Amino acid sequence: MSFLKIKDPPKRDKLVTEYLKVKNKIQNGFRAERLGEQSMYEDFGKIFKPITEQQQKSSEEIVSKFAPLQEAIENIPPALPWDMPQPEALPAPDDEPQALELETLPANVGPIAQEYLNNYLTEN
């Protein structure tokens, strides 16, 4: 804004003083807002300090407990196929499979089912 173009000195002085007042008001408002936010953050820090300290202690404790576990996992050698445990060997089958007796079949099996199941049920 050019104040030099205003020829009337009292009007120009009045306009300049109004301009400076508005400028100072804006600057002071900005400062107050910034200081208000700062005090708000300080208040939040005071209010939530016990919670944040407890969370910090808990997280440090958890990390300290898992650090040895992580080191142990990293130091495990890779498993090779021949190092893997083998399943137990099955017993050798008998020469002739023996049919189960009718008495070992469930009670709810009828005579026709018994005839067919005897062909498939063996001890092995």
Both tokens assigned to 37: 């936010």
The full set of domain ranges for the chain reads: 1-76, 96-124
Instruction: Enumerate residues 6+ apart whose C-beta is below 8 A from 124.
Output: 93, 94, 97
CA 112, CA 3: separation in Å to the nearest integer?
Answer: 116
- The Cα 67–Cα 102 span in angstroms is 62
- pTM equals 0.31
| pLDDT of the residue at 41 | 78
Amino acid 124: pLDDT: 45
Mean pLDDT by 10 residues, the chain (124 residues): 73 87 87 74 85 91 88 77 64 57 62 77 57
Q: Give yes or no for a contact between 118 and 100, defined as CB atoms under 8 angstroms apart.
A: yes
Sign of the dihedral defined by the CA atoms of residues 90, 95, 101, 106, in that order:
positive
